[in-house]
Chain A
Amino acid sequence: RTSSASFSPTHKHRNKSRTAIMSQPKVSSKKESSKVHKLALKGSSKVVSEFFEYSINTILFQRGVYPAEDFTAVKKYGLTMMVTADDQVKAYIKKIMSQLKDWMYGGKISKLVIVITSKETGEHVERWQFDVQLFGKPSKAKSSKKTANKENTGPDAGEPVPEKTEQEIQAEIQSIFRQITASVTFLPMLDGNCTFNVLVYADADSDVPLEWGDSDAKEIKNGEKVQLRSFSTSNHRVDTLVSYR
């Protein structure tokens, strides 16, 4: 169980992205011969939002937000994924996803958060956070702060993208879902009387439909945090973090 006591995603990500960048030449040179399918930004956004949809379903199932009977099994990512069969929940997720896709295509989203809240106490008991990093779009925090260092990080904006095959991406996503599933072993038992909320960290200039409104981060007080695996496409990198009481 790895838990990081302090939490500073921006730093973490910056470091990570940098290491990723440094390792890229190796990867790409290795992959040159193999058949490489580079996903366009739109395709990449689709992969990420699809990942989000299955993540929401998986978390709702694994954490008992809805009864297991309400879910059906589908094959995805080489796994048997549980997706809700309940019409209401389906419609609810669909509504979220349609907006999420718009934002994803616009590159407006930096985080997706699923918060599980106890119905009885109203406390946030579990928080699944997916950090989205869009390659080629220097984050504002970076540019404002790191101008001095920018020269050293190399052609950051140009971004030599890692060219992965779809199989590789799928394998990465698969291992995230395996981790999410396996996380029930260390996550505390939920009492089964929980509800959930979906938060999105969007750029300030995003179009916000009526159904979405500003919210606090719904952080878990004094929560444990566990960083799970990540996956990346040609345009996005998604990190997974679960925090719990």
Chain B
Amino acid sequence: MASPAVCTPVRNSHKSAFNLRTAGGRMPLTPSPRTPTRQLSDVPGAQQESIHGTNNFMSRLAGRSVSKTSVRDSPKSNIARSNNSPRRLELGVSDWALTGTGNTTSTKQTPLKSRKDGVIRPRVGKSRITYNAADRFIPNRTASDAICNVGGKLDLENRPKSSKGEGSAILATAASAFDLGGRGSEDDVTLSLEGLCLDDEDDGEIYTKPSPNAVAYQSSLASACGVSLNTRILAFKPAPPESSKPIDLRSQYNRPLKPAGGISAQFRRRVPSAPERVLDAPGLVDDYYLNLLDWSSGNQVAIGLERSVYIWSAESGNVSSLLEVPTDTYVSSVKWSGDGAYVGVGLGTGEVQIWDVEEGTKLRSMFGHETRVGVMGWNKHILSTGARSGLVYNHDVRIAQHKVAELVSHTGEVCGLEWRADGAQLATGANDNLVSIWDARSLQAPKFTKTNHRAAVKALAWCPWQSNLLATGGGSHDRHIHFWNSTTGARTNSIDTGSQVTSLRWSTGYKEIVSSSGFPDNSLSIWSYPTLVKNVEIPAHESRVLHSCLSPDGQMLATAAADESLKFWKLFEKKAGAGGASRESSATVKASVVKQMTIR
């Protein structure tokens, strides 16, 4: 489409600079071959028409001038043809704005006329005329206003101003905008053109850049909100490592002033992992259900080895054979009486013998059980015996009719039996996976029967510092240690040890409990209570640890294992104190004496 524009020079030099830019490099310097005078004189009329009927105007323009304007000649030829002096031409370039628009622009320069008139320069000045839509006539304000010329940004800045006050004025001036001949004021033209331009932009343009005002507003808003536009909030994306366990801050706040970690590291007691002494225990029956080891209050260790019971004196280290049972049976359990004077011996036949160790004589035999007696327990003059049949008898060893009670609850072999220190309660465990807790005053039925274990329960231990706390350990299919409140029957804690629990012993000096393990560990484990933290694990024996017992001072643990050895472990060495130190020193003195003697 041929959309001609009329471009008349403007004298204003700074404006012309912009115009040059917007002219897209086209600078038709050629005066129309037609008489410029006529052309110019036509313009006002045409433009006036255009206000009322743009199409008409366009077509007229096109009809008149297009053919010429499309021709572009070299400046040289222009010069030659137009007979303009070089000076004049120069004026045209630099002083006069020659604005062409886009591809559809044709321009008419009328230097002659303007020169001739001299004063007419304000004319159409900067009327760069564009057609936005096919039928619309859009003067570009960039030609008229230097400030607005820079870019769309600034245009927008000016928008509020013009739209605010001059809405109607724009229309009015727009009407007169092209009345160029009649109205000489350059300013008026500028204003009106600007108004037009703004109007059209309103309709057609999409703003891509925010105005400076908007930016300022955003930044002030941002700063008021404490956020900076120039700041990014960055997060370290990898998830932090999981905490190893939930933390109770209360316990942390109550921790001692010195850091807990330091304390535990610095003051964690050392448990020797080597045995103090190892004794051979040839012929020790590898039978989980028997109880063949016991340490008396008189510091003597009794061990049942096949058909014999040996007494090892921890004071002197002497070993003596206490008894030997007939070849048709074997020793299935040994148990010291509370005073350490007598030892009860259970036999495979179900017979129970009482021996006076000092004298080395048998005091009496008690019959009643049909099956082997795997476990026994003393409560003063009462000896409780548990048998393979699942029956537990209480024997009063002072009287002829010794059987004073029959405790019926288990259906499997009874292998664990412990009296509470005060004799008020009795705990029994058996191969039926049950733990029974009996009240000494009513033995018709157990006070509680616990079914939590999934294997035979041999390991039973009453807590020395909390009388109603009972620990029980299950066999190889169970591997758990359960802790019970024997008053309420509630299970208070549990440990999965990972291996068969063959015995449990509470420390008397520490808040700890030691468990001995069968397959696969064959170890001793010391657990803190109630934290249930495993303080130490000692690989104790080559095969499963069958029995254990504590020395009367509570420091030493003796273990007998299926590897036919008896080992003594100083697990609960008394805390550094006067007593312990003196004993240590005396021991070392003794050792040095021995050594000297050996040397001699």
Question: What is the interface of chain A, defined by CB distance below 8 A to chain B?
Answer: 7-10, 63-73, 80, 82, 85-86, 88-89, 92, 95-96, 99, 110, 139-141, 144-145, 184, 189-193, 195-206, 208, 211-218
Contact = CB atoms under 8 A, between A and B. Distances in A.
B488 interface: no
Nearest to B533: A69
Interface in B197-223: 216, 219-220, 222-223
B34 interface: no
Given A89-B240, A144-B219, A184-B253, A192 B232 contact: no
Nearest to B237: A213
Nearest to B250: A189
Nearest to B255: A68
Nearest to A113: B233
Contact of B235 (A10, A82, A86, A197): A197
B224 interface: yes
A141 B219 contact: yes
Contact of B247 (A8, A64, A200, A204): A64
Given A67-B244, A192-B249, A196-B240, A202 B226 contact: no
Best-buried of A66, A99, A189, A205 by chain B (most CB within 10 Å): A66
B243 A212 contact: no
Contacts of A213: 234-235, 237
Interface stretch (B259-267, B383-391, B562-570): B259-267
B235 A199 contact: yes
A6 B317 CA distance: 81
Contacts of B255: 68
B253 A86 contact: no
A148 to B, nearest CB: 13
A97 B252 CA distance: 27
B248 interface: yes
Given A189-B249, A202-B231, A214-B233, A68 B260 contact: yes
A67 B236 contact: no
B237 A141 contact: no
A65 B241 CA distance: 10
Given A145-B220, A184-B253, A195 B239 contact: yes
A188 B463 CA distance: 38
B241 A201 contact: no
B228 interface: yes
Interface in B133-186: none
A215 B219 contact: no
Interface of B: 216, 219-220, 222-250, 252-253, 255, 259-262, 264
A141 B227 CA distance: 9
Nearest to B243: A66
Given A141-B228, A199-B234, 4 more contacts: A67-B245, A73-B259, A191-B246, A193-B243
Nearest to A90: B241
Nearest to B264: A69
Contacts of A197: 235-236, 240
A151 to B, nearest CB: 20
B262 A215 contact: no
A10 B229 CA distance: 13
B235 A215 contact: yes
Contacts of B253: 184
A208 B243 contact: no
B487 to A, nearest CB: 30
Contacts of B241: 86, 88-89, 92
Contact of A68 (B232, B246, B261): B261
B411 to A, nearest CB: 45
B472 to A, nearest CB: 29
A139 B228 CA distance: 10
Contact of B232 (A72, A80, A99, A206): A206
B219 A145 contact: yes
B247 A68 contact: yes
B234 A145 contact: no
B235 A8 contact: no
B247 A192 contact: yes
A73 B253 CA distance: 16
B260 A110 contact: no
B247 A212 contact: no
A73 B243 CA distance: 19
Contacts of B219: 141, 144-145
B231 A212 contact: no
Contacts of A64: 247-249, 252
B233 A200 contact: yes
Contacts of B260: 68-69
B246 A10 contact: no
B261 A69 contact: yes
A193 B226 contact: no
B259 to A, nearest CB: 4
A160 B262 CA distance: 45
Nearest to A80: B259
B232 A208 contact: yes
Nearest to B224: A8
B261 A72 contact: yes
B270 to A, nearest CB: 19
Contacts of B248: 64, 192
Contact of B238 (A7, A66, A95, A216): A95
Given A64-B247, A68-B252, A89-B240, A216 B259 contact: no
Nearest to B228: A141
Contact of B243 (A67, A95, A211): A67
B405 to A, nearest CB: 49
9 contacts: A64-B249, A68-B261, A184-B249, A192-B249, A193-B247, A199-B235, A202-B231, A204-B229, A215-B234
Nearest to A100: B236
Contact of A201 (B233, B238, B242, B262): B233
B259 A67 contact: no
B226 A9 contact: yes
B164 to A, nearest CB: 26
A208 B234 contact: yes
Given A73-B262, A184-B253, A192-B247, A204 B234 contact: no
A141 B238 contact: no
B262 A72 contact: yes
B387 to A, nearest CB: 47
B240 A204 contact: no
B246 A193 contact: yes
